[in-house]
Structure 1
């Protein structure tokens, strides 16, 4: 194999690897952590993107839910447990705890 052909193959492989790395980083989702403690979501407001994961960790001694106001999702989070939900739609999302309706949170979900 000549040096010119070898360099072209090497450059092509390097270019493909860089494109793949950039595409992977651009589409990487994040985990947004929300703690439940003393009958409150913290933070009460959070920003995320479609495809990101919301992770609720319940530090209280009682179960809670993260229930979307219009019923799109309802996550039960037992005492001491952690639960996750992948966001599928953009927009402002209000949620609350069905067991403790004064517990409220809001997500601002953007497209990537």
Structure 2
């Protein structure tokens, strides 16, 4: 089941408040930061918040077996063998409670 707008907003506000607190703590600890330092810190925090938003789960894919929307179970690691050797990937993992099968998109079964 997809999260409501209110739940997503609450999660984002919590993350934004943590970033703001970190910026304020940094500002207190840094003796007379200049504009370049402030901009650098703000950009660093902005990038981190953007990265967190980019990995937010999208609506679950449909189970190939039963057609039910699969449930997001968080980020999982998977090691795959490629032409250049083993690669450790971290992506969203989805699970169908009805069929008891997992999916590690973009389409390989887990």
Give TM-score scaled by structure 1 length: 0.33
> Is the radius of gyration larger for structure 1 or structure 2?
1
Higher strand fraction (1 or 2): 1
Give TM-score scaled by structure 2 length: 0.34
Higher helix fraction (1 or 2): 2
Higher RCO (CA < 8 A, seq sep 6+) = 1
